[in-house]
């Protein structure tokens, strides 16, 4: 499966990352942002799926993102408090700075698209709005495929 290449979902993923670091665009800051996003989503979504269910979805998202961004291979999804994406900071070191933002956004894009497959775009949207009520987003932005 290739990473969905639909602009609204990609734009939303990158926007959420930038939102978490207040616009700082360095690869290290964006990696911190993806970790924050993962932590926040874990707290919101684990009650629906359980910690193991959330772990499975985010692990699958990382796996799918690795197809287009093989340097993500060193990222391991953890179930420990305070750690979601172990090794993320290390794998971006030495990478082309232009490739890091789309790679990190790809993890989130894949996560959102998987969530849409599992619970639909409306419920996925509601979960994201609960975490980021200040971010303008619509259900249509949550999924790569319109029919979900």
Q: Do 121 and 148 meet the contact criterion of CB atoms below 8 Å apart?
A: yes
Q: Do 101 and 30 meet the contact criterion of CB atoms below 8 Å apart?
A: yes
Look at residue 146 in the predicted model and tell me its pLDDT. Answer: 54
Look at residue 130 in the predicted model and tell me its pLDDT. Answer: 96
Look at residue 6 in the predicted model and tell me its pLDDT. Answer: 54
Beta-carbon neighbour count of residue 24 at 10 Å?
A: 13
Per-residue pLDDT of the chain (148 residues), as tens digits, is 445 455 788 889 999 999 999 877 899 999 999 999 999 999 999 998 998 999 999 999 999 999 999 999 999 999 777 889 999 999 999 999 999 999 999 999 999 999 999 999 999 999 999 999 998 898 988 887 654 3
* Residues 34, 16: Cα–Cα separation, whole Å: 9
Residue boundaries of the structural domains of the chain: 7-140
Report the phi/psi class of residue 2: left, alpha or beta, with left for phi > 0 and alpha for psi in -120 to 50.
beta
Residue with tokens 């629906």: 48
Look at residue 79 in the predicted model and tell me its pLDDT. Answer: 77
Structure tokens at 102: 């789309």
Which pTM was predicted? 0.90
Q: How far is CA 2 from CA 84, 116, 133, 136, 145, in A?
A: 23, 16, 30, 27, 13
Q: Do 75 and 91 meet the contact criterion of CB atoms below 8 Å apart?
A: yes
């Amino acid at each position: 499966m290739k990473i969905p290449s639909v602009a609204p979902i990609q734009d939303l993923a990158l926007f959420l990352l930038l939102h978490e670091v207040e616009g700082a665009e360095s690869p290290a800051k964006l990696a911190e942002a993806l970790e924050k996003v993962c932590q926040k989503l874990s707290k919101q979504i684990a009650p629906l799926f359980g910690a193991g269910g959330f772990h499975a979805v985010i692990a699958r998202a990382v796996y799918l993102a690795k197809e287009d961004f093989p340097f993500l291979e060193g990222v391991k999804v953890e179930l420990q408090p305070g750690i979601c994406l172990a090794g993320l900071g290390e794998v971006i070191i030495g990478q082309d700075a232009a490739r890091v933002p789309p790679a990190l956004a790809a993890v989130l894009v894949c996560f959102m698209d998987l969530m849409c497959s599992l619970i639909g775009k409306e419920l996925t949207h509601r979960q994201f709005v609960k975490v980021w009520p200040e971010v303008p987003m619509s259900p249509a932005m949550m999924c790569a495929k319109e029919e979900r």
